[in-house]
Amino acid sequence: MGSNSFTIGSVAGIRIALHPSWLVIAFLVTYSLAIGNLPQSFPGWEPALYWVVAAVVAALFFASVLAHELSHALVARRFGIKVRDITLFVFGGAATLEGDAGTPRQEALIAFAGPLCSILLGAAFYGLTVVTGQEQFAAVLGWLAFINVSLGVFNLIPGFPMDGGRMLRALLWRLRGDQFAATRNAATVGRLFGYLLIGLGAYIAFDGGVFNGIWLALIGWFISSAAESSVAELSFQRMLRGVRVRDVMEPEPASVTPNETVADLVNERLMRGEDRSFLVRHDDGGLAGIVTLSDIRQVAREQWPMARVTDIMTRYAELAKVGPDEQLERALKVLQQREVNQLPVVDEDGRTVLGLLTRAGILRLVDTRMKLGV
């Protein structure tokens, strides 16, 4: 999701991003308020006023969703877990944490922070409706009070990966001492809840509430799919547990020199072998960078004979690197965070190349282990 999102700012040092799908729900919320909810509740306003109030409510609603996710993020950071960003998308928001809770207590507190924030916001908005005497302002606050409390209560439903499901996982983890089994059980509840929403959405759609029914079914599909994906991801991580980078890396990766032309690289190496990425080494064997097929594709074909590898490679200073004894789980997270397909494996000095870790190599390991049942 992150690669398609665009940054709109940061809060407490945490990058805030919008996924393009957020624009869809932002329009739908504004439209439904301006055309339906507000005219029904407050007839007689000027048409333009409905749209102005609806836009303000929509903006404050998404600020509330952001506050919900920030609560998760700040509590996670309190426990030493790095927070990369928060992304708002069509189904709400998601905080990207660079790590997992170390204990069931931490997991439960991180999960509970979001619903607690939403319910407290709802209570605060409702309190303001009591003291304000301005009709339009009261309309905004009343809707926000309702939606925040609804958001908080809905997220407490014990279906993983919802907040309530994460709290259920924390409880099962505490009782059984097995995080994987707890995740699997909580995800089963999440899938069942997702299927229930899909069925309820279909019933509502056929009963005449097409928009609400389809939307409810989509939420159910998202929850069930996310639950299945979470279990698959955890199974994948469990399979890699205990494996070190040196066990998977290519010990003698293909390499080129910085002064080789792009034409020679294509004709002599890419066209005659299976390698799609190459270490770039100095004459003394030191690492200068990495050049990949995607780098070559950025160069016009007529420039290949003149362009050199050093002109297009990713230079050493910009490379993410791993050591041979690092856990493969951590190295995989670096691959995902940097959105690259390979990492040079280097010695303590940082420039002596010991091998190359690739996504393809990791997938081969996983495939072999699955086939062998180990």
CATH number for position 313 = 3.10.580.10
Domain-ending residue, one of 240, 275, 291? 240
Q: Are residues 276 and 339 in the same domain?
A: yes
In-domain check, residue 167: no
Q: Are residues 123 and 222 in the same domain?
A: no
Read off the pLDDT of each residue in 227-243 and give the average, rounded to a whole number: 80
In-domain check, residue 163: no
pLDDT for the residue 73: 92
Among 37-41, 46-50, 133-137, which is the least confidently predicted range?
Answer: 133-137
Position 2 pLDDT exceeds 70: no
Q: Are residues 19 and 123 in the same domain?
A: yes
Domain-ending residue, one of 121, 156, 191? 156
CA 221 to chain centre: 17
Position 90 pLDDT exceeds 90: no
In-domain check, residue 51: yes
Q: Are residues 6 and 152 in the same domain?
A: yes
- Say what percent of the chain tops pLDDT 70: 98
Q: Are residues 227 and 253 in the same domain?
A: no
What's the domain range around 48?
2-156
In-domain check, residue 21: yes
Read off the pLDDT of each residue in 70-88 and give the average, rounded to a whole number: 90
| Number of domains within the chain | 3
Q: Are residues 270 and 324 in the same domain?
A: yes
Among 189-203, 207-221, 292-306, which is the least confidently predicted range?
Answer: 207-221
The whole-chain average pLDDT of the chain stands at: 86
Position 28 pLDDT exceeds 80: yes
Position 209 pLDDT exceeds 60: yes
pLDDT for the residue 136: 72
Q: Are residues 127 and 30 in the same domain?
A: yes
pLDDT for the residue 374: 63
In-domain check, residue 259: yes
Q: Are residues 338 and 211 in the same domain?
A: no
Q: Are residues 122 and 210 in the same domain?
A: no
Domain-ending residue, one of 125, 156, 187? 156
In-domain check, residue 125: yes
Q: Are residues 186 and 111 in the same domain?
A: no
150 vs 92, which has greater pLDDT?
150
Q: Are residues 268 and 146 in the same domain?
A: no
Q: Are residues 71 and 152 in the same domain?
A: yes
Q: Verify whether residue 69 is a known catalytic residue.
A: yes
pLDDT for the residue 111: 93
pLDDT for the residue 53: 84
In-domain check, residue 16: yes
In-domain check, residue 109: yes
pTM: 0.71
Read off the pLDDT of each residue in 182-204 and give the average, rounded to a whole number: 90
Question: Of 46, 69, 233, 339, which residue is the catalytic one?
Answer: 69
Read off the pLDDT of each residue in 353-374 and give the average, rounded to a whole number: 83
Position 225 pLDDT exceeds 70: yes
